[in-house]
């Protein structure tokens, strides 16, 4: 799908150029005020009062997201005009704008239109500017346009991917042309990163192995200005990442430790390090999971795919920032060689860990990566992991869990999440929770029991992240959806990219 910005003088009472655009469908937002305004008023003038009559008659429901498709409208060149209700408030909430945009896109996609003109970008959204409107429009339309087809037959793929829309023109006021073109570029780059993250998450684990993830990283290196190093098992053993390797040893798939380096500014600037959990399938190991929904454990590498997707976005944006990505990736499988409850392993940091539950494996691979991150002398480190079911119980599927002892870093992530419509909620890391991780046989146990499970998991990781500002994102409830809508979401790529954009500024 190709997006373009087209600037018009939207201050005119009517603009014949605007409604003479060659397009299969024009999408116009309608605020149910006493008087129409903006593009809606211009369309009303061009159609000799048709829009105001439709609103007055109730043919267009006042509920935000309601749509009405008009055909062969006099005064408009396009064969279709889609009216989408934006509700009764003069200023929309970000959520209302996204929901209305989604409803409008579904209505356009249900037609055989191959091109569309999007006139929602100039609508006033609370605490947002037109640049946000443009970027979130691109992200919303690309999200709805995504179809997974890689492991389907061509016939099935063609049946699923029947959206014919190839071109979208976003109409904006000429005053904001430059800013909107920048926002368009950001939106497309982020959408490309999200698509990569979703695609990797949705692939079955017999295809998306640790070796496959490493090949994707190498592909990014070939396509973009990146440095990528893939460490194999012998190199990981030489580093003495005993905790990471203890998880990998139960699988026939060889582990990989992927290091990505993007230099967007002077090498003197300390990098931000992103650490992604890359468990390409999590059976639970000896502490095996219940069979119900175990297929979804292919998504346990969504932290890793989010790091790859974020890199895909920032290299396309040529972000002026140095970023390092660390991905410890392996499978967690039961076998005669697998970790056993009660085993004690030694991490890269030298701390010993009692493995009470082999299904608490994510923290075992992440802790060694967090220690490895010290060599980059980072400005900040963020790890991203589908770490605990407890976070899903606590926060559901709307907010990712955020843990950090650094208020400045936490506040930047909270702000970035709100702007990106990819929110996080900060949870505590009080010292009292560390007591649950005490072990009689090692320096620390890998689980603190059922109570406060997401917090004690973060407390575990915090012991390996003392040398730098650090934050942990638990994405177990947000990285994918189950049920009929099963599939990876691409989160938290929007949050991470916005955080990095803000850091670069």
Concatenated DSSP letters of 405-426: S-HHHHHHHHHHHHHTT--EEE
pTM across the whole model: 0.96
Average pLDDT over residues 139-165: 86
Average pLDDT over residues 450-465: 97
Q: Report pLDDT digits (tens) over 81-97.
A: 999 999 987 789 999 99
Q: Which of 56-70, 147-161, 481-495 has the lowest mean pLDDT?
A: 147-161
Average pLDDT over residues 60-68: 93
Residue 397 buriedness (CB in 10 A; 0-12 / 13-18 / 19+): middle
For the domain 2-166, what is the CATH code? Answer: 3.40.220.10
CA dist 498 and 195 (Å) reads 16
Please name the helix (run of DSSP H) or strand (run of DSSP E) that holds residue 492, with its range, or none. none
Other C-beta atoms lying within 10 Å of the C-beta of residue 266: 8
Options 1.10.10.10, 3.40.630.10, 3.10.290.10, 3.40.50.300; CATH of 195-504 = 3.40.630.10
Other C-beta atoms lying within 10 Å of the C-beta of residue 239: 16
CA dist 282 and 294 (Å) reads 8
pLDDT computed for residue 13 by the predictor: 44
Q: Is the pLDDT of residue 390 over 80?
A: yes
Tell me the pLDDT band of 383, cut-offs 50, 70 and 90: very high
CA dist 26 and 119 (Å) reads 7
Query: Mind telling me the catalytic residues?
Result: 289, 363
Q: Is the pLDDT of residue 414 over 70?
A: yes
CA dist 157 and 253 (Å) reads 29
Provide the Cα torsion 182, 186, 189, 192; round to 10°. Answer: -130
Domain ranges for the chain: 2-166, 195-504
Please name the helix (run of DSSP H) or strand (run of DSSP E) that holds residue 348, with its range, or none. none
Domains 2-166 and 195-504 share a fold: no
- How many residues would you count in the chain? 505
Average pLDDT over residues 480-495: 96
Mean of the per-residue pLDDT values of the chain: 95
Q: Is the pLDDT of residue 12 over 80?
A: no
pLDDT computed for residue 309 by the predictor: 98
Q: Which of 39-53, 306-320, 450-464 has the lowest mean pLDDT?
A: 39-53
Q: What is the chain's Cα-based Rg?
A: 25
Concatenated DSSP letters of 373-386: GGGG--SEEEEEE-
């Amino acid at each position: 799908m190709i997006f373009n910005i087209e600037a018009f003088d939207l201050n005119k009472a009517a603009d014949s150029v605007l409604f003479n655009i060659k397009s299969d469908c024009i999408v116009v937002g309608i605020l149910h005020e006493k008087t129409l305004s903006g593009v809606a008023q211009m369309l009303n003038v061009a159609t000799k009062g048709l829009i105001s009559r439709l609103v007055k008659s109730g043919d267009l429901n006042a509920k935000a997201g309601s749509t009405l498709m008009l055909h062969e409208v006099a005064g408009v060149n396009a064969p279709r005009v889609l009216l989408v209700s934006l509700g009764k408030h003069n200023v929309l909430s970000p959520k209302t704008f996204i929901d209305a945009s989604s409803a409008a896109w579904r209505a356009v996609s249900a037609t055989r239109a191959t091109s569309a003109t999007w006139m929602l970008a100039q609508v006033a959204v609370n605490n947002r500017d037109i640049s946000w409107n443009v970027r979130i429009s691109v992200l919303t339309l690309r999200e709805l346009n995504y179809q997974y087809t890689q492991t389907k037959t061509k016939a099935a793929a063609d049946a699923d991917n029947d959206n014919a829309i190839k071109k979208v023109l976003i109409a904006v006021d000429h005053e904001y042309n430059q800013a909107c073109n920048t926002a368009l570029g950001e939106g497309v780059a982020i959408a490309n990163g999200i698509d990569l993250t979703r695609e990797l998450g949705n692939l079955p684990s017999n295809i998306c192995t640790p070796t496959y993830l490493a090949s994707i990283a190498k592909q990014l290196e070939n396509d973009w200005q990146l440095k990528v190093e893939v460490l194999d098992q012998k190199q990981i053993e030489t580093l003495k990442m005993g905790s990471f390797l203890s998880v990998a040893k139960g699988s026939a798939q060889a582990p990989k430790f992927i290091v990505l380096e993007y230099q967007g500014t002077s090498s003197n600037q300390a990098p931000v390090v992103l650490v992604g959990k890359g468990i390409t399938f999590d059976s639970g190991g000896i502490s095996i999971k219940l069979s119900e929904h175990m297929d979804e454990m292919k998504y346990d590498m969504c932290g890793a795919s989010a790091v790859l997707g974020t890199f895909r976005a920032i290299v396309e944006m040529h972000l002026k920032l140095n970023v390092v990505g660390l991905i410890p990736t392996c499978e967690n499988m039961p076998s005669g060689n697998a970790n056993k409850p009660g085993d004690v392993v030694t991490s890269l940091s030298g701390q010993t860990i009692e493995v009470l539950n082999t299904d608490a494996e994510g923290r075992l691979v992440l802790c060694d990566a967090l220690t490895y991150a010290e060599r980059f002398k980072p400005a900040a480190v963020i790890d991203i992991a589908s770490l605990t079911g407890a976070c899903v119980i606590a926060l559901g599927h709307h907010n990712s869990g955020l843990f950090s002892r650094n208020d400045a870093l936490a506040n930047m992530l909270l702000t970035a999440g709100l702007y990106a419509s990819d929110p996080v909620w900060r949870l505590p890391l009080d010292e009292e929770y560390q007591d649950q991780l005490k072990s009689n046989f090692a320096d620390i146990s890998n689980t603190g029991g059922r109570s406060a499970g997401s917090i004690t998991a973060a407390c575990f990781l915090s012991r390996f992240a003392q040398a730098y500002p650090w934050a942990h994102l638990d994405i177990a409830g947000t990285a994918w959806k189950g049920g009929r809508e099963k599939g990876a979401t691409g989160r938290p790529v929007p949050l991470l990219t916005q955080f990095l954009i803000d850091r670069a500024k």
